[in-house]
Amino acid sequence: MALFLIVSAALLLGGNALKEWLAAIMASITAHFSWLYLGIYIVNFVFFLGLACSHIGKIKLGDVNDKPAYSNFQWGSMVFATAIDASILMLSMVDPLRYVQQPLFGAKAMSAQNYQYAHMLGQFDWGPMAWMMFASAAVIIGYMMFVKHVHVMALSDAMPLLQGKGRTKRSLRLTVNFLVVFGIMGGIGSSVGMEIPVLAKIIAQISGIADTIWLKLALFVVLLVIFGLTMVQGLKGGIDRLSSMHIWTAIGFLVIVLLVGPTGSIIRSEMHSLGALVTRFAAMSTGLATATGGVNPVKSETVFYWGWWLTYMPFMGLFIARISKGRTIRQVIFGMLGFGALGCMAFYAILGGYSLSLQQSGAVNLIHTLNTQGQAATIAQVLTTLPFKYIMLVVYGVSCFIFLATTVSSSAYIVSAFTSTRLKATQQPSLLNRMVWMGIFMLFAFGIVFVGGFKTVQAICSVAGFPLIFVSALLIFSTWKLLVKDHSVVLAPQPVKAKVKRQVPRVLPVAHDSLHD
C-alpha cells in the first residue's frame, strides 16, 4: 500500500513531464528485453496446450462426485467479464487505426494489404496466446485447492517448491506475493487510467459539459461508489451479476454495430484476417515478423500487450480457479480459449473492422483525429457515425461502466485476499481490506490520468509485467513437477462404481386358496 501511495504521489507531482521518460522506458524494454516476453508466452502456450490434450487434462479439480457450481455460460461470462475491462471496447476501435499507419510485415503503410494486417494484428494480441497465460496460475491453484485441499490465500501458497520454514523460502514467498500485487496494481490501474478519459469525452459529447480534469475526478467518485456497492455483495450476488450484465450489453452492442455497418465487408475482412492469422502466427509469436526501416511495430505492440496480460495473470488465475471446482483441467483451459480468445477476437473483428471501413472508404478521417486529438476523440467520432448516435453513446458509456466495475471489483477482491494475514478457506476478505484497496486503485489510476498519454499506459503495463515473467516461469515449472512427474496423480485409478449382481427372481410356491380359485 505504501509503495503505491508513493508511486501515485510521484505521478501526480510529475504530471505531463513524465511522458517522455516513460516513453523512453517502453522503447528500452522493447529493444533489450522483448525476447523474454516472447519466450515465456511460447513456453506457456506449448506447455499448457500439450497438458490439456494429454491424459492429465482429464484430472478433475475436485472430488469425483463434485459438479460445477456454475453453468458453462455463467462460468464463461465470469471469466470473460473479469479479465476484459472496458479497454476492449476502446482499443478494438483505435488499435487498427494505429497499426495501419505502420509498415506491417513489409507492407507499405496505408496500403490495402496493410489494412488487412492491421485488422488481424489486434486479434493476435488478444487471442489464444494471451488467454493461455492465465492457465499458468489457474491450473496449479485449482489443483492445490480442490485436489490437494490446500488453502490458497496467496499465489505462493500454490507452489510446493516454496513451502517450508526456512528463511530463504519465506523470503521467496514474500517476493512472489509482492510482485503479484505490484503487477495487478500496475495493470489494472493502467486500464482505468486509460478508460476514464474516454468516458469523460463521451459524457462531454452527450451533455455538453466541458471535458476537464474535474469531470474525470467526478467519474472516479461515481466509479468508487459503484465498486463499493459491488464489493459489499462480494463474489455471489455482486460480481457474478455484473458479469452477466457485462456479457449481454457487450453482445448487444456488437450486434448493433455489425448490422448497421457494412456487414458483408466486415465478414469478408474477418475471413481474410483469420487466414492471415494462421499463416503469420509463428512469425508474430517469435518476433520474427519482417518490417521496413529496421523498426518492428508488430513486436513492439506485442511486447506491450504481453506485459499487460502478465499483470492480469495472478489474479485471473486465482479467480478462475475459485469458480472452477468440478471442472477438469481440459475444460478450464479450452473454456478460457473458447469464451476468452474468441470473444476478444469478435470485438476486433467487428469494431476494428467498422473503424477501418470508415477510414478506408473516406467517410471519416479517423486517423487525423487520432493523431491530433487522441483516442478518446476518435472513439467518440466513431460512435457518432452510428444511427441514433446519442442512444449509442449512452449504451457505450453504460457498457464501459459495467466493464470497469466488474474488473476492478474482482481485482480488489483478489488483492485483498492476497494481503489478508488470516483467512479461512470459506471466508471472504474483510470489507475494510477490500475498500482500502479499492481506494488505492482509484488514486493510482487518477495519477495515470493526470500524466496522460497512451505511451504512459504502455510503459507502466510493461514495467509491471516484467517481473511476472519469472513468476510465470516458476508456476510452469511447479505445474510440471506436480502433475507431469507425480505418478500418484497421473496413474491413480479412478474409482468405479461396484457392479450390482443381477438378481434372478425366485418363484415361490403359492398356497392353494379355494376362495381365490
Assess if residue 360 is contained within a domain.
yes
69-88 average pLDDT score = 80
Give the contacts of 401 (CB within 8 A, at least 6 positions apart). 86, 199, 223, 226
Q: Residue 292 pLDDT more than 70?
A: no
| Most confident of the following: 10-14, 222-226, 463-467 | 463-467
Assess if residue 165 is contained within a domain.
yes
Q: What is the domain-level CATH number for residue 138?
A: 1.20.1740.10
151-166 average pLDDT score = 84
Q: Residue 512 pLDDT more than 50?
A: no
Q: Residue 496 pLDDT more than 50?
A: no
Least confident of 34-38, 101-105, 402-406, 446-450: 402-406
Look at residue 305 and give its three-state secondary structure.
Answer: helix
Q: Residue 246 pLDDT more than 90?
A: no
Quick one: DSSP state of residue 287? T
In this predicted model, what pLDDT tens digit does every residue of 365-399 receive, in sequence order?
999 999 998 888 898 899 889 888 888 888 887 77
Phi, then psi, of 227 in degrees rounded to 5:
-60, -40
CA 498 to chain centre: 44
Give the integer Cα–Cα distance in Å for 481 and 200.
49
| Residue whose C-alpha cell reads 505511451 in the numeric block | 455
Residues making up the chain, counted from first to last = 517
In this predicted model, what pLDDT tens digit does every residue of 184-198 receive, in sequence order?
777 877 777 778 888
How far does the chain reach from its first CA to its final CA, in angstroms?
93
Confidence band, pLDDT 50/70/90 cuts, at residue 424? low
26, 41, 189, 367, 445 from 8: Cα distances, Å? 19, 30, 10, 32, 8
160-175 average pLDDT score = 86
121-128 average pLDDT score = 93
pLDDT at 10: 82
Assess if residue 513 is contained within a domain.
no
319-339 average pLDDT score = 92
Assess if residue 428 is contained within a domain.
yes
Quick one: DSSP state of residue 238? I
125, 320, 378 from 357: Cα distances, Å? 21, 36, 14
pTM: 0.83
In this predicted model, what pLDDT tens digit does every residue of 454-467 receive, in sequence order?
777 878 888 888 88
Task: Domain of residue 379: give its range.
Answer: 1-485
pLDDT at 235: 47
pLDDT at 477: 93
Assess if residue 509 is contained within a domain.
no
C-alpha cell recorded at residue 115: 489494412
96-101 average pLDDT score = 94
Q: Residue 515, Cβ neighbours under 10 Å: how many?
A: 4
Q: Residue 243 pLDDT more than 70?
A: no
Helix 389-418 vs helix 297-322: crossing angle, to nearest 10: 60
pLDDT at 54: 92
Which residue type is seen at 448?
I
In this predicted model, what pLDDT tens digit does every residue of 34-71 receive, in sequence order?
889 999 999 999 999 999 999 899 999 988 888 898 88
Q: What is the mean pLDDT of the chain?
A: 82
Task: Kindly tell me the burial class for residue 78, based on how many C-beta atoms sit within 10 Å of its own C-beta (0-12, 13-18, 19 or more).
Answer: buried
C-alpha cell recorded at residue 58: 482429464
Residue 60, beta-bridge partner list = 328
Assess if residue 492 is contained within a domain.
no
pLDDT at 335: 93
| Residue whose C-alpha cell reads 469478435 in the numeric block | 346
Confidence band, pLDDT 50/70/90 cuts, at residue 272? very high
327-332 average pLDDT score = 94
pLDDT at 220: 83
Number of domains making up the chain: 1
Helix 297-322 vs helix 18-53: crossing angle, to nearest 10: 60
Assess if residue 506 is contained within a domain.
no
78-99 average pLDDT score = 84
| Most confident of the following: 168-177, 280-289, 363-372 | 363-372
Assess if residue 213 is contained within a domain.
yes
Give the integer Cα–Cα distance in Å for 290 and 164.
48
* Rounded percentage of the chain residues whose pLDDT exceeds 90: 29
Least confident of 83-87, 277-281, 321-325, 339-343: 83-87
DSSP per residue over 432-490, as a string?
Answer: HHHHHHHHHHHHHHHHHHHH--HHHHHHHHHHHHTTHHHHHHHHHHHHIIIIIS-HHHH
Q: Residue 233 pLDDT more than 60?
A: no
pLDDT at 488: 59
| Residue whose C-alpha cell reads 513437477 in the numeric block | 481
Question: How many C-alpha atoms does 438 have within 13 Å on its Cβ side?
Answer: 28
Give the contacts of 41 (CB within 8 A, at least 6 positions apart). 129, 132, 133, 285, 306
Q: Residue 363, Cβ neighbours under 10 Å: how many?
A: 11
Closest to 72 measured CA to CA, from 332, 392, 265, 261: 332
Confidence band, pLDDT 50/70/90 cuts, at residue 274? very high
**Torsion sign, CA atoms 379, 384, 387, 393:** positive
pLDDT at 438: 79
Confidence band, pLDDT 50/70/90 cuts, at residue 357? very high
